[in-house]
Amino acid sequence: MGVRTRFAPSPTGDLHLGGAWTALASWVVARREPGGAVVLRVEDIDPPRVVAGAEARIEQDLRWLGLDWDEGPARQSERTGLYLQAIEKLSALGLVYPCDCSRAELARSASAPHPGEELVYPGTCRALDPQRPMKRAPALRVRVPDEAVAYEDAVVGRVTQQLAREVGDFVLRRGDGVLAYQLAVVVDDAAMGITEVVRGGDLLQSTFRQLLVYRALGVEPPAWFHCPLVRDAEGRRLAKRHKALGLNELRNAGADPARLRQDSSHGTSRGAPTP
């Protein structure tokens, strides 16, 4: 099988320049190899955050930018059965347990971080009876081994995290039934045969959790390219809140997509795919 990449936008708003850059980089990685393929996946796993019409506008903007794809769109909202099967497999291995802690309770724990930092789960429910009466609908967490998780990133090199200490047992399914991104992305990339994951550097820290899920499921992980983030003139990363820099607005203002593709090539660093 040849190179297979994917672009996986969340339809929570319009596509901005940062997202367009990762889409372009992912497209280039696939298209520069004979037989390479691009998959479009819509990550709409959290229904309350989905914006009506955003998926259609994202597809329109990608085509305007000159990008195409070989498969998709595949929607996570239509793949719930695959995620539940993965949880069943992990549960059979003794790696999943229910947690009925509230966020407020966790924030009051000794392991709670400073404001703005990620909440580190202290293992409150790890050794409790899973059949006990629950205070509320429980989340499902995965047991994280007390060992370093490491991988070689094609852009930033070798990276390591002490996942148990820096994150703790993380959620696979929330108490409201919503499946976690960290689970869904692994199941989808494995099922779709993705060989290279090209995405923004803001997702680098998520990779350690995903790698743990890959290993637990017995699936070979892809190669990862975490590209530098596109930033504005003041050094702030571009996000959906930067309305004026959305592709939809740029297209309506008469921007030249060829110029945007060319300008994107100036934002790469060592090892990053270059359009």
User: Which residues does the annotation mark as catalytic?
Assistant: 240
Instruction: State how far the Cα of 100 lies from the Cα of 133, in Å rounded to an integer.
Output: 10
**Other CB atoms closer than 10 Å to residue 127's CB: what's the count?**
7
